[in-house]
A = this chain, B = another copy of it.
Amino acid sequence: MPASGALPDLTQAGPLLHAASAETRAGLLRHARLLVLPPGAMVVAQGAEVEALHLLVEGSLGLRVADDGGATTLVEILRPGEAMAIGAVMLRVPCAVTATTLVPSRLLAIPAEEVRAATARDTRLMRAAMEQMAREWRLMLDQVVDLKTRDATQRTARFLVRRLAAPQGPVEMPEPRIAIAARLGMTPESLSRALHGLEAAGLLRLRGRRVDVPDRAALLRAAGSG
């Protein structure tokens, strides 16, 4: 057990470990470290070998890409329960993104070779790894559809709806606004206009780093999903 603290409740660590047999899970957790990180900490660098599978337990992780043409942007924000770069872990290939904490965060780091060995032994864990890869592809696919078919206000509304579990209530937006704007493919000014426009339409109330949504269905309609 590392000095950085007791391992957290595993229900927060997402579906990947839960798919493994109890024996596999226990074996992986014996090798796991808990990382307690401030905002702005780099977890994995694009182009580097990935030494550990990272499971986000608390906080937010921003994934950035600098492509071969020199363009750099934030492509995704991971939230608790999600795994980071399972494909690079499984395939031993350089990581395609740079992952940086956007807020204070806690991650479980499991050595990549332990993960590879466990998936080779445990077919349920192997399946879960492929499910995670399929899920990451699907998130990118959804974002491509969003970027091609929805305007800034619709994308903002959709982002909020996805973070809202209940029919109404608060949506936490602890990340820097510039990161959320980049995730949504817009400038911070456009994000601000979109949020204030939705507030003026009675669809939300801005409360600093929190947004209150009185009616999820109405916000969904504003997202072009009515």
Contacts and interface: CB of A to CB of B under 8 A. Distances in A.
Contacts of A67: 142, 145
Interface string A68-110: 1111110100000000000110110100110000000000000
A182 to B, nearest CB: 7
Given A130-B130, A140-B140, A145 B65 contact: yes
A115 to B, nearest CB: 13
Contacts of A130: 87, 90-91, 129-130, 133
A73 B143 CA distance: 12
Nearest to A65: B145
Given A133-B133, A133-B134, A147-B147, A225 B87 contact: no
Contact of A158 (B65, B69, B220, B225): B69
